[in-house]
Amino acid sequence: MLFDLDSGDCCDWIKRLLPVLETALGKKQGLPARKIRSVEEFLQLFPHEKDLLIDSTERRTQRSSCAKTQRKHYSGKQGCHTRKNIVMGNPEKKSLFLSPTKAGRYHDKKLFDKETSFRGIPPDQTLWLDKGFQGVQHHPKNVMMPKKKPKNRQLTADEKAENCVISALRMPIEHVFAGLKRMNCLHHVYRNRNGQDDQFIFLAAGLWNLNLACR
């Protein structure tokens, strides 16, 4: 009432201003990569990176009235309907790469295997992953991952200590997720159409990287 503004005007302004924000973040080189086509392109984008922290992040979405869509977005891990991305960061908490947004039912390992950009990572890079990526150990790159408890056997004291060290070194990727979810549309239940949330998390990653650069 005070500003002669209604919900339709808000939607119009968002559509006008989001491309402006994306252009500005692009000029500041704060946006993460969305596609890496070769090892040469990776080295051009990230010439000084040696340790890559990779993990998936999920955010809740509104439950669909369609049963097929419900099954597609239901995440057994989170116990609710979600949308998911894989994020690659570095120990300085910067978001380097953001995969396309997918439905929450897809497993982390499956998303990793289907994403062709990870094939452009040089073999001398060290990938720091969590247990959700079991099976990537056979990847032709250096992989550091906590050991999973074997069936009918306990982990040894040395294995538990090694897991703690790996988890501690992977902690910066959790700070990346916390930085992304400062934007309320990623923190609260997403109620708009699927597809626009991909732009939201992309710009949130750019704002977080800009925040790190300005510190």
Instruction: Name which of 64, 197, 45 is nearest 121 in CA terms.
Output: 45
CATH class of 32-148+158-213: alpha beta
Rounded to the nearest 10 degrees, the angle between the axes of helix 171-180 and helix 157-169 is 40
Q: Are 159 and 83 in contact (CB under 8 A)?
A: no
pLDDT score for 2: 82
Tell the residue number behind the tokens 């302004």, with chain if given.
13
Structure tokens at 123: 């073999």
Region 49-68 average pLDDT: 90
Structure tokens at 150: 């074997």
pLDDT (tens digit per residue) in 126-161: 999 998 888 876 565 688 999 988 888 899 999 999
Instruction: Name which of 119, 116, 113, 156 is nearest 135 in CA terms.
Output: 113
Structure tokens at 209: 């990287």
Please measure the distance between the N-terminal and C-terminal CA atoms of the chain and give it in whole angstroms.
Answer: 38
Residue extents of the structural domains in the chain:
32-148+158-213
- Higher-confidence residue of 187 and 1: namely 187
What is the rounded distance in angstroms from the CA atom of residue 202 to the CA atom of residue 192? 16
pLDDT (tens digit per residue) in 166-192: 999 999 999 999 999 998 889 899 887
- 16: number of Cβ within 10 Å: 9
